[in-house]
Amino acid sequence: MKRILTILPAISIVMISCQQNLTPDTPEIPAPADEVMTKSLSAGKVGPDDPIVFLSPLETDFWAQTISLEDRFKAFEVPASRLSTMTTEAIAKSILNYPLNYLVFAYDPNDAVDLIIKNSPLHQEFLSRTDAFEVLVDLYAASGLDMRIEKSNYDGDYVNLSYTNTMFVEAFLGANVLNTFAKSSVNQKLAETVATKLQSRIQQPETFSISSIEPLLTIDKAVGLNVASVETRADTYNYISVYTPWAQEIIGRVYTADGTATEIAQWTTQATSAYPDAIVRGPATRMYNSHSYTWHNQSTSNNIWIDYNFLNEPQLDKYWTNDKYTKDVPPAEAEKVCYTDHVNSAIILSNGKHLSKWEKMPLMEHYPNECPYILGSSATYCEGGSDRLSLTVSGQTSVINGRTYQFNVYGSLADVDLVWEVRFMDAPSPTPFVLQVFSDGRYSNIRFDDYGYYKVIVRGYRNGIEMAYGQAEVLCLP
């Protein structure tokens, strides 16, 4: 029986991923020796005031051939010689149009921001500028949001931003990585901008769900603007217990609402345009994630979101620790995979491809490297772990004939029915003992009425299936 632990109104803080696509321009003068030209940057001006002009999304050959995230980071890396000559505004505009901004929909926002900063010299250079916060706020305040699906992320428009680029810049502002100790006038401008955009989105529930409101609330909290006094549609979800095959408890979330049709179309378009050879196997949704699909429920109607950690404690590990799955199996035996840093889980198909849910994006069938994640030193798993959950039966191992002793059972016992059994000398004859069980089977009192060897056994059942087993051997003396 599933137990709902508590219902929380949660204001989810979305910090949008900053992932990058940089293509060195072809200058009219010879490029410096350290400037590596790639296909990822379209030809254009290279003056200090000129932002990077990125590759068009219509260049499908590039996107199809440059599939791994590592390759994309390298392809979109702006040379140091170029960055050092660019103004802060030119760098900020380059960030607004960064081709990997779609990663904001494929990661936990904090992880996405950290990943992009770690791998992008463009973003690192921007963070080193003392006027970065002021410049970005000015650009953001002057920008509008264009929700059309056909609006390109790379069209060099810094006034009418695409949905993806808007979500990214808001996440970047809210990620607390910029030096926000700027003039009070800058904070005032940001506060007024956030308040205006927040009110506008709240008034359009058919277009914007909490997924598009979260980034504004994040900026408000991170910078201390205190503008969210207007009515907000706080995100609500239930915490709920689900279970591993051998009945270990996993805490998941059930969200009360999905994204709007407009948002879902955006999440889908970003996945299919960035990975044109991957195949959509289930709709985009914020209701479940890759960990839930891979380990809990392989249905597109799945509505449970499972995080790797709960209250800073790993919980996904329970599936392969004293449970049904075995970790680090040979590739030929692997059935499931958990990517580096547990950012994504996937089912391994017979054709060698992976089937995984890309955060808010769709359920996708793809080659291992053809996704928004770094495969790296991923761990592989298959069924064939422990036959049953192991229970520990504790108590006296040496007892006196005719006396009563208490025994306890320990283990992952959530929603498991416990049955006690005592055997004497492994003989078929009646066992001389008296057994009393207490507290839903968690402990018992046993009186041993004859000397010899006893086995104290506890079996755990869930839905009528034996899921757990434990025993202790006891020597009874005269």
- We report the CATH number of the domain holding residue 406 as 2.60.40.10
CB atoms within 10 A of CB 78: 24
User: In whole numbers, what is the pLDDT of the chain averaged over residues?
Assistant: 85
Are 340 and 397 in a shared domain? Answer: no
Are 23 and 38 in a shared domain? Answer: yes
Residue 412 counted as domain residue: yes
| Stretch among 1-15, 99-113, 218-232, 336-350 having the lowest mean pLDDT | 1-15
Are 177 and 274 in a shared domain? Answer: no
Are 192 and 62 in a shared domain? Answer: yes
pLDDT for position 38: 42
Residue 399 counted as domain residue: yes
Closest residue by Cα to residue 144 from 126, 128, 131, 157: 157
Are 369 and 291 in a shared domain? Answer: yes
Are 222 and 89 in a shared domain? Answer: yes
Are 197 and 258 in a shared domain? Answer: no
Decide which of 383, 398, 419 is a domain's last residue. 383
- Give the best-scoring range by mean pLDDT among 3-17, 33-47, 243-257, 282-296: 282-296
Query: What confidence category does residue 231 fall into, taking pLDDT thresholds of 50, 70 and 90?
Result: low
3-state secondary structure of 433: strand
Cα 38 to Cα 281: distance, rounded to the nearest angstrom: 33
Are 77 and 175 in a shared domain? Answer: yes
Are 157 and 250 in a shared domain? Answer: no
Closest residue by Cα to residue 22 from 111, 95, 103, 81: 95
Closest residue by Cα to residue 443 from 476, 478, 404: 404
Residue 408 counted as domain residue: yes
The tally of domains found in the chain comes to 3
Nearby residues of 454 by Cβ (< 8 Å), 6 or more positions away: 422, 423, 424, 425, 431, 433, 448, 473, 474, 475, 476
- Look at strands 404-410 and 249-255 and give their pairing: unpaired
Output the pTM of the full model. 0.78
For residues 253 and 240, the answer to whether their CB atoms sit within 8 Å is yes
Residue 261 counted as domain residue: yes
- DSSP strands (E only) in 82-157: 144-146
Decide which of 383, 403, 431 is a domain's last residue. 383
| Full domain range(s) for residue 304 | 237-383
Are 376 and 396 in a shared domain? Answer: no
For residues 168 and 14, the answer to whether their CB atoms sit within 8 Å is no
Decide which of 350, 383, 416 is a domain's last residue. 383
Instruction: Output the CA angle 338-340-254, nearest 5 degrees.
Output: 55
Are 210 and 150 in a shared domain? Answer: yes
State pLDDT tens for residues 247-267: 788 999 999 999 999 999 999
Cα 269 to Cα 276: distance, rounded to the nearest angstrom: 10
**Residue 390 burial (C-beta neighbours within 10 Å; 0-12, 13-18, 19+):** middle
